[in-house]
Amino acid sequence: MADTSRSSLNHHHPLPPRRYIRDNMNAVSPSTTSRPYRSKSQRPCDRCRRRKTVCLIQAEGSSCQSCLKAQQPCAFEMPPTKRQRRTLDTQKRIETRDEQHGPGVASAEGVALHDTPTGLAGLAHRDVTTTVPVQSSPSATTPQAQSHRDLQYRDAHCTPTNPEAHAARILSAMETTGLPYASERRHRTHPHAGTPSNQTTTSYPVQYVRSFEQMEAATAQLCGMSAELDPWLLRHCKFDEYGMRGLQNITCRNVGGVPVQGLVPVHFIVTDNSLIQQDEHRSSDESRRRRMLEDLVPMSHGVRLISLFMRFVQPMLPIVSRSQLDRQLSENTVPAVLLAAVYASAIPYIAHDHVLFALPAMSDSLAETLWGMVVDWIQCDAHKPKLAIMQASLLYLQRLPLRPHRVLADTAARSSFLGSTVALAMSLGLQLESQPWGIPTWEKRLRRRLWWALYMEDKWTGLLMGRPPMIQKDEWDIFDLKEADLELGHRASFDVESDPNTSQDGVIFVFFVQLAGQVEKIQEAFYTLRASQRLAEDFRASVDAARPIRESLQAWYYSLPEELRLRSRAEGQSYRDHRQGVAVLHFSYLMLELFLYRAILRPLARSPPPPPVTNEEDESDSQSDPFFAHGLSSTWLLDDLTFESLEFDQLPDAGFAEFGEAAEVALNAAERCAAILVNFVASLVPQDFDVHWYPWTRICFATITSFITLLFVQAPTSAHAARSRELLKRWSLHLRSQHKTNEGLMTLGLLRLHSLQVEELDGLFSLSPSALELLSESRTKHGHVACEGAT
CA dist., res. 607 & res. 713, Å (int): 11
- The mean pLDDT value for 372-398 works out to 94
Residue 372 has pLDDT above 90, yes or no: yes
Residue 431 has pLDDT above 90, yes or no: yes
> Is residue 642 assigned to a domain?
no
Distances (CA, A) of 460 to 83, 471, 684, 699: 53, 12, 22, 10
Give percent above pLDDT 90 in the chain.
Answer: 30
Residue 649 has pLDDT above 60, yes or no: no
Residue 205 has pLDDT above 70, yes or no: no
Residues contacting 780, CB < 8 A, separation 6+: none
Does residue 188 share a domain with residue 243?
Answer: yes
Per the structure, the count of domains in the chain is: 3
Q: Would you place residue 753 in the very low, low, confident or very high pLDDT band (cuts 50, 70, 90)?
A: confident
CA dist., res. 763 & res. 784, Å (int): 22
DSSP class of 432: S
Does residue 547 share a domain with residue 520?
Answer: yes
Does residue 171 share a domain with residue 303?
Answer: no
Does residue 394 share a domain with residue 258?
Answer: no
Residue 322 has pLDDT above 80, yes or no: yes
Residue 739 has pLDDT above 70, yes or no: yes
Does residue 340 share a domain with residue 242?
Answer: no
- Write down the pLDDT at residue 616: 54
Residue 575 has pLDDT above 70, yes or no: no
- Write down the pLDDT at residue 505: 62
Residue 235 has pLDDT above 90, yes or no: no
Residue with the larger pLDDT of the pair 283 and 436:
436
> Is residue 634 assigned to a domain?
no
Give pLDDT tens digits for 329-365. 988 899 999 999 999 999 999 999 999 999 988 888 8
Does residue 263 share a domain with residue 180?
Answer: yes
Distances (CA, A) of 200 to 4, 243, 544: 13, 21, 60
Residues contacting 490, CB < 8 A, separation 6+: 323, 326
Please tell me the number of Cα atoms within 13 Å of 386 on its side-chain side.
Answer: 25
Instruction: With beta carbons less than 8 A apart as the criterion, state whether 460 and 695 touch.
Output: no
CA dist., res. 292 & res. 341, Å (int): 14
**Final residue of a structural domain among 451, 484, 517:** 484
Q: In a 3-state reduction of DSSP, which class is residue 325?
A: helix
> Is residue 220 assigned to a domain?
no
> Is residue 787 assigned to a domain?
no
CA dist., res. 571 & res. 170, Å (int): 58
- Write down the pLDDT at residue 212: 83
Residue 186 has pLDDT above 90, yes or no: no
> Is residue 324 assigned to a domain?
yes
Does residue 376 share a domain with residue 306?
Answer: yes
pTM of the model: 0.69
Q: In a 3-state reduction of DSSP, which class is residue 310?
A: helix
Give pLDDT tens digits for 21-40. 333 333 333 344 444 455 55
Q: Would you place residue 64 in the very low, low, confident or very high pLDDT band (cuts 50, 70, 90)?
A: confident
Q: Would you place residue 606 in the very low, low, confident or very high pLDDT band (cuts 50, 70, 90)?
A: low
Residue with the larger pLDDT of the pair 272 and 417:
417
Residue with the larger pLDDT of the pair 423 and 41:
423
Residue 466: alpha-carbon gap to chain centroid: 20
Q: Which domain covers residue 245, as residue numbers?
A: 2-78+87-213+236-268
Residue with the larger pLDDT of the pair 170 and 411:
411
Q: Would you place residue 101 in the very low, low, confident or very high pLDDT band (cuts 50, 70, 90)?
A: very low
- The mean pLDDT value for 298-321 works out to 93
- The mean pLDDT value for 708-736 works out to 90
Residues contacting 279, CB < 8 A, separation 6+: 380
Which among 175, 164, 172 has a CA at the least distance from the CA of 88?
164
Does residue 377 share a domain with residue 243?
Answer: no
Does residue 17 share a domain with residue 46?
Answer: yes
Residue 15 has pLDDT above 70, yes or no: no
Which among 719, 689, 700, 318 has a CA at the least distance from the CA of 502?
318
- The mean pLDDT value for 553-572 works out to 77
Residue 96 has pLDDT above 80, yes or no: no
- The mean pLDDT value for 267-290 works out to 73
Residue 417 has pLDDT above 90, yes or no: yes
CA dist., res. 34 & res. 21, Å (int): 18
CA dist., res. 18 & res. 269, Å (int): 8
Q: Would you place residue 762 in the very low, low, confident or very high pLDDT band (cuts 50, 70, 90)?
A: confident
> Is residue 533 assigned to a domain?
yes
- The mean pLDDT value for 58-79 works out to 80
Give percent above pLDDT 70 in the chain.
Answer: 63
- Write down the pLDDT at residue 114: 34
CA dist., res. 314 & res. 502, Å (int): 10
Instruction: With beta carbons less than 8 A apart as the criterion, state whether 57 and 68 touch.
Output: no
- Write down the pLDDT at residue 491: 61
Residue 18 has pLDDT above 50, yes or no: no
Does residue 669 share a domain with residue 568?
Answer: yes
Does residue 321 share a domain with residue 181?
Answer: no
- Write down the pLDDT at residue 105: 35
- Write down the pLDDT at residue 701: 94
- Write down the pLDDT at residue 77: 82
When the pLDDT of each residue in the chain is averaged and rounded to a whole number, the result is: 72
Q: Would you place residue 490 in the very low, low, confident or very high pLDDT band (cuts 50, 70, 90)?
A: low
Q: What share of the chain is helix, strand, coil (3-state, %, to 5)?
A: 55, 5, 40
Q: What is the CA radius of gyration of the chain?
A: 32
Instruction: With beta carbons less than 8 A apart as the criterion, state whether 605 and 768 touch.
Output: yes
**Final residue of a structural domain among 449, 484, 519:** 484
Q: Where are the alpha helices (DSSP H) in 559-606?
A: 582-601
**Final residue of a structural domain among 484, 517, 551:** 484
**Which span out of 214-228, 239-253, 542-556 was modeled with the highest average pLDDT?**
542-556
Residue 594 has pLDDT above 50, yes or no: yes
> Is residue 452 assigned to a domain?
yes
39-43, 505-509, 712-716: lowest mean pLDDT where?
39-43
Give pLDDT tens digits for 106-148. 333 333 333 333 333 333 333 333 333 333 333 344 444 443 3
Instruction: With beta carbons less than 8 A apart as the criterion, state whether 587 and 680 touch.
Output: yes
Instruction: With beta carbons less than 8 A apart as the criterion, state whether 272 and 217 touch.
Output: yes
> Is residue 640 assigned to a domain?
no
Instruction: With beta carbons less than 8 A apart as the criterion, state whether 672 and 597 touch.
Output: no
Does residue 199 share a domain with residue 58?
Answer: yes
- The mean pLDDT value for 769-789 works out to 66
CA dist., res. 209 & res. 22, Å (int): 21
Q: Would you list the DSSP string of 200-215?
A: EEEE--------GGG-
